Amino acid sequence: MDPVMRDFVIGGAGFIGSHLTGRLLQAGRGVTVFDNLSTGKRSFLRPYEGHPGFRFVRGDVLSLRALRSAMKGCGFVYHLAANADIMRAMKDPGLDFYQGVVATFYVLEAMRGLGLKPLVYFSGSGVYGDYGLRSIPEDAGPLRPQSMYGAAKLSSEAMISAYSHLYGIRAWIFRPANIIGPRPTHGVIYDFIRKLKRDPRRLAVLGDGSQSKSYLHVEDLLDAVFLAVRRARAPVNAFNVGSRTSVTVREIARVVAREMGLRRVRFDFGRGARGWKGDIPKVRLDIRRLSRLGWSPRLNSREAVVRCCREILGCEDRG
């Protein structure tokens, strides 16, 4: 396969990364997935095993040598690896520092060493901090993250900007809302389904259920990514990705229970508007920059939640 046509997907065995891998292969690209399988799973990649363009390398981003060697011969880099364990990160701030800041530095160093230029980075709305119900455009400021996760994403974006200026890296940075769909590794819907399978009579909810955010189906996210990469030509391009609608955690709890066919669930809500310290309870992302490129999500937040429940429950029922 032509090496320029091979993409390198770091974190490709995870939720978003495995869907991205599928879409890239479908588009005729070769894909090398690099993943340490900390939250990702080999089984997420099973649909692509045997595809002539697919290759899997088990490795850790924090080993620069392994990263560089696996990246050799690739053209486009997608970086999705990050710490997903929010609860553990609260007790250990070093987790986001190493898995976020240092990991992105190594990705950039590997690219610099190999002379690779294009990078797609999955950042997050955590870079903004708490803007309440104000709609946040990409150039909002000051940026005051309230978690190490958000701080690590913001630091990574800052390094990408510097590498772009210094070494000609071309970057597309995405700050997604809550992304949902089949093959989840974490998140509120996944959490509720797991808890209700264990005990169908009661559901403990983190926070008072009033947290309200935008939920976007993973296929809508990937449409946005491919469109932006095709159309946005600045050295560093940043995009919010979400829908214009939001749903509350309380509504999600009700939808999940209904989709599981459970009528008499007792919802035990926690106290306070935040699910955990560092959580931003209300987020409204301004998506006009992506809309101007011609993207809009196919599903609103509520539709995405319903579809995601059905997809997850459908997959599980099939074993």
Ligand X SMILES: NC(=O)c1ccc[n+]([C@@H]2O[C@H](COP(=O)([O-])OP(=O)(O)OC[C@H]3O[C@@H](n4cnc5c(N)ncnc54)[C@H](O)[C@@H]3O)[C@@H](O)[C@H]2O)c1
Interacting residues toward ligand X by CB under 6 A:
11, 13-17, 35-40, 60-62, 80-82, 84, 99, 103, 122, 124, 176, 178-179, 185
**Is residue 21 within 8 Å of residue 48, measured between CB atoms?**
yes
Angle 12-300-312 from CA coordinates, rounded to 5°: 50
**Residue where the block lists tokens 């210094």:** 166
Q: Report the C-alpha gap between 155 and 251 in whole angstroms.
A: 34
**Is residue 171 within 8 Å of residue 120, measured between CB atoms?**
yes
**List of residues 6+ apart from 182 with CB closer than 8 A:** 19, 218, 308, 311, 312, 315
Comparison of 62 and 229: residue with beta carbon closer to ligand X = 62
Comparison of 11 and 297: residue with beta carbon closer to ligand X = 11
Comparison of 126 and 265: residue with beta carbon closer to ligand X = 126
Comparison of 179 and 253: residue with beta carbon closer to ligand X = 179
Comparison of 30 and 126: residue with beta carbon closer to ligand X = 126
Comparison of 99 and 164: residue with beta carbon closer to ligand X = 99
CB of 149 to ligand X, least distance (A): 7
Q: Report the C-alpha gap between 171 and 232 in whole angstroms.
A: 10
Comparison of 40 and 275: residue with beta carbon closer to ligand X = 40
The alpha carbon of residue 170 and the mean position of all alpha carbons in its chain are separated, in whole angstroms, by: 20
**Is residue 62 within 8 Å of residue 97, measured between CB atoms?**
no
CB of 184 to ligand X, least distance (A): 7
CA-based end-to-end distance of the chain: 35
Q: Report the C-alpha gap between 203 and 318 in whole angstroms.
A: 24
| Secondary structure letter of residue 98 according to DSSP | I
**Is residue 264 within 8 Å of residue 197, measured between CB atoms?**
no
